[in-house]
A and B are shown apart, each in its own frame.
Chain A
Amino acid sequence: MIRLEFIWRNLWRNKTRTALTIASFATFMFLLTSLHAIVSSISEVGQRAQKELRLVVHHKSTMTKLLPLSQVPKIAALPGVRAVCPVRWFGGRIVDSTEQFPSLAADVDAMPVIYSDFELSPEEVGQWRSMRSAAVVGFELARRMHWARGQRVSLRSTIPPYAELEFQVVAITSAPAYPNLFGFRLDYLIEALKQFKNVPAELRDAAHFIWVKAESPSALNSIGPEIDSLFVNSLNPTVTEPEEAFITQFTMMFGNIPAILRGIGLILVLSIALVAGSTLSISLRGRLGELSVLRAIGFSWRKMFAALCAESMLIGLMGAVGGGVLLALCPRTMLLASAGVPYLPPMELSWGLLGWAMLVGMLLGLCAAILPVLRVTRVPVTQTLRALEA
């Protein structure tokens, strides 16, 4: 067996070359690992949503059209439904600020049941119930705006009739699916809308979405079609989707983000393989004679092959670790996927991610090595030795 030391020494024979290759590998791996982290946080949010057994009901024609609140008790009466929560888009902005975040009004009683993943303490739930202007804020939004519990916030809606409301933050949720959420009570909003004479009652007592929580996974599948058939011939036909599908569709409205990320990732993988492959073939060209001597004195081509591949995999491993270190050093705000897109969770760093990067790095090193190494080891020893003499 060829010892690891032999491989290690060979690796550092040309320090500049190896250092440059690792540096190049590390920058590409940094990008690749960040992409992977974003994609896996997105799918993790989807998986968590599945466990919550939630469905989303919205208007059939477009999500911006309101559904009357009279639909809520009808849905709640269906068998298998645990809770129903109307949610209304507010589109609030802080006056004189360009910050954008999703602000939504939700039913006061149903909210803590439907969004049990907010993990609010009993005290926080108590405040939410007792204070009409209560608001629950996502951790990332709170960090960005320097809000703490008890903070008073005034928001003006960007959709007609442009109500302006004053809120008090009663809880900051660390739920990873809602980093930028601003949630408040629907009854508070509807009360405010009563002051607008030009808002008719059917647009006032209405919501954009109705969130439904099922009692069991089997009920989850049957409730959707039942809800839609309830309203199919009404003025407001509905579409009901599992929350996961809804979030995917919602994110897809902003473009096929996972596909774009995969495309960029593929290009990064190709670049890494090209860099590693080109370095290795340069390095092998210079060592042709020496390799022939090794084979002439009895090392089998299999051993040579393994040693050279191991060398390339080692470079890949170090590059991946380098990329991981860069990622860990990167300020956390930089890692957040664009704050303007709701439902895009922040990237989470973990040891598993580093493990993934190391594995991918070694695999890429191996892939890049196969062709150049085969080319060298395939040449008959006699031929290369003769070439050396000449």
Chain B
Amino acid sequence: MTLPMRYAARQVVARLRQNFLTVVCVGLVVAVFGYLLSISDGLRKALRLTADSALVIVLAEPATAESNSAISHEDAQKLAAVPGVALGRAGQPCVSCEYVVQADVHRPGGSRASAIVRGVDPSVALQVRPAVKVINGRWFNPGSDELVVGRTAAVQFLEGRAGKKLLCGDRLFEVVGVIDSGGGVHESEFWGYAPNIKQAYRRTMYSSATLRLENSDADHVAAVCERIGSACVALRGVHSPAYYESQGRGAVMIERLNMGLVLLMGLGAVFAAANMMHATVASRTRELGVLRAIGFSPRQVLVAVILESLLLSLIGGAVGAVLCGLWLTILHPSKDLVSSATFSSLAFRVSYSLKCAGWSLAIAAIIGLAGGIWPARSAGRLSITSALRSN
């Protein structure tokens, strides 16, 4: 079986120029696929990184997200008494009651988006989410109209730049620092001091509360959620991983679009690849006849042609993957998507992962195989005598 591999590889080198256009076509299909997959993966990754199995998010019972939830101050106080909640450094329960509201922001291109503004009390919020820290500038001063901005929002929205002002409710808040939460969706938010946000938006109720539990056992989580439901009938506790899983609709939509596009564009590319291989088989019928005559089996000829198609397609795929990776890395490091439930934008970082590259190459390989199989069969079936006689 030494023939197929080396023969195919040399054919590829010899014929790359002739098949250049088809190879580029495969590359384009793979590039579109990689681009969309990176976006849906980026969103999923941000949601996954935010999920913390020791956290429970408390929402109003009918609410679908923090931003459309409302919790009365009375109920919020009862949450502090729920057993099973971890205690903070000062011995107070780790229950962070927060206001989750929205503010209009602009993308660098000028289009409008709606960003989440979270009103927190840093003394509790940071014990509930210890990963959050300031990486640039400083924390907002409690009591003043200042904000810190997540590092992704700082890139994605014009108002996130240091020193900029953001209209929150009735008042202008100044951005004084950038926070990092180790990836995740808090990096696409603005955080301010809870009482100031409350006044600016004239809110009478909290939006949601986040609880840090003593441990993250499934049983313990379920028990705490049940206690929340019985202590406050109007509320429900959602385990943080489940909550962020439910916020991933945007990713599902992109994945569907991507699937449809890749199937159809891939089909078009398969036809193109089949065309290319038909032509190369036709143009060297005599050569294939010679190979058969000197003893190579029909099977070996068939494999050689398929391998050639596979290699050409993989070259196209690799070029597409590299270009897409470069494009994403250099030009579009972050994106944002709007949740259709809350109308607020979720910004996240996009990176071209190894998984993306792997899938891209797999798709190129499938295109090559599917396109090569039919021409290869006709190459394997050539009768030696007529093949040798052809020119």
- A: residues with CB less than 8 A from B are 16-17, 20-21, 23-25, 27-28, 30-31, 60-65, 91, 93, 100, 156-162, 198, 200, 235, 249, 252-256, 264, 267-268, 270-271, 274-275, 277-279, 281-282, 285-286, 338, 340-341
Find out whether the CB atom of A24 lies under 8 angstroms from the CB atom of B167.
no
B275 at the binding interface (Cβ < 8 Å): yes
Task: Please determine whether A17 and B278 come into contact, CB atoms closer than 8 angstroms.
Answer: yes
For the complex formed, measure the closest distance between the CB of A180 and the CB atoms of chain B, giving whole angstroms: 11
Chain B residues near A24: list those with CB within 8 A: 268-269, 271-272, 275
List the A side residues contacting B269 at CB < 8 Å: 24, 271
Q: Are A28 and B268 in contact (CB under 8 A)?
A: yes
Interfacial chain A residues near B19, Cβ < 8 Å: 278
Identify B109's interface contact among A25, A256, A267, CB under 8 A: A256
Bound Cα distance from A338 to B267, whole angstroms: 23
> Which residues of B are in contact with A by a Cβ distance under 8 Å?
18-22, 24-25, 28-29, 31-32, 60-64, 68-70, 72, 101-104, 109, 111-114, 167-170, 201, 204-205, 249, 253, 261, 264-265, 267-269, 271-272, 274-276, 278-279, 282-283, 335-338, 340-341, 343, 345
CB-CB nearest in chain B for A24: B271
Contacts of A60 in B (CB 8 A): 167
Complexed CA–CA distance, A162 and B64 (Å): 11
Bound complex: CA A156 to CA B338 (Å): 22
Q: Are B343 and A161 in touch, CB under 8 angstroms?
A: no
Contact A31/B28 with A160-B60, A161-B70, A253-B338 known, Cβ cut-off 8 Å: no
Please report the C-alpha to C-alpha distance between residue A256 and residue B111 in the assembled complex, in whole angstroms.
8
Q: Known: A267-B28, A274-B24. Contact between A249 and B112, CB under 8 A? A: yes
Total residue contacts A-B, CB cutoff 8 A? 155
Q: For the complex, give the distance between the alpha carbons of A357 and B18 in Å.
A: 29
Q: Can you report 7 residue pairs joining A to B where beta carbons are below 8 Å apart?
A: A20-B272, A62-B101, A63-B114, A253-B114, A255-B336, A271-B29, A278-B272
* Known A20-B274, A61-B103, A100-B340; 14 more pairs at CB < 8 Å: A23-B268, A24-B272, A27-B264, A27-B268, A27-B271, A31-B261, A158-B341, A253-B113, A255-B335, A267-B31, A267-B32, A271-B25, A275-B275, A277-B21
**Do residues A255 and B338 form an inter-chain contact, with CB atoms below 8 A?**
yes
Cα–Cα, bound, A1→B214 (Å): 88
The answer to whether residues A341 and B340 also contact, given A274-B22, A278-B21, A282-B276 and a CB cut-off of 8 A, is yes
Give min CB distance, B228 to chain A, whole Å: 17
When distances are taken between beta carbons in the complex, the residues of chain B under 8 Å from A65 are 169, 201
Instruction: Tell me whether A282 and B275 are in contact in the complex, defined as CB-CB below 8 angstroms, given that A64-B343, A270-B28, A274-B25 are known contacts.
Output: yes
A63 with B169: CB separation less than 8 A: no
Could you tell me the distance in whole angstroms from the C-beta of A60 to the nearest C-beta in chain B?
Answer: 7
Q: How far is the CA of A292 from the CA of B32 in the complex (A)?
A: 41
- Cβ-defined partner of B265 (8 Å) among A31, A156, A162, A281: A31
B271 CB → nearest A CB, Å? 3
Contact indicator A160/B32 (Cβ below 8 Å)? no
Per CB-CB distance, the 4 closest pairs between chain A and chain B, nearest first, are: A24-B271, A278-B21, A160-B70, A27-B268
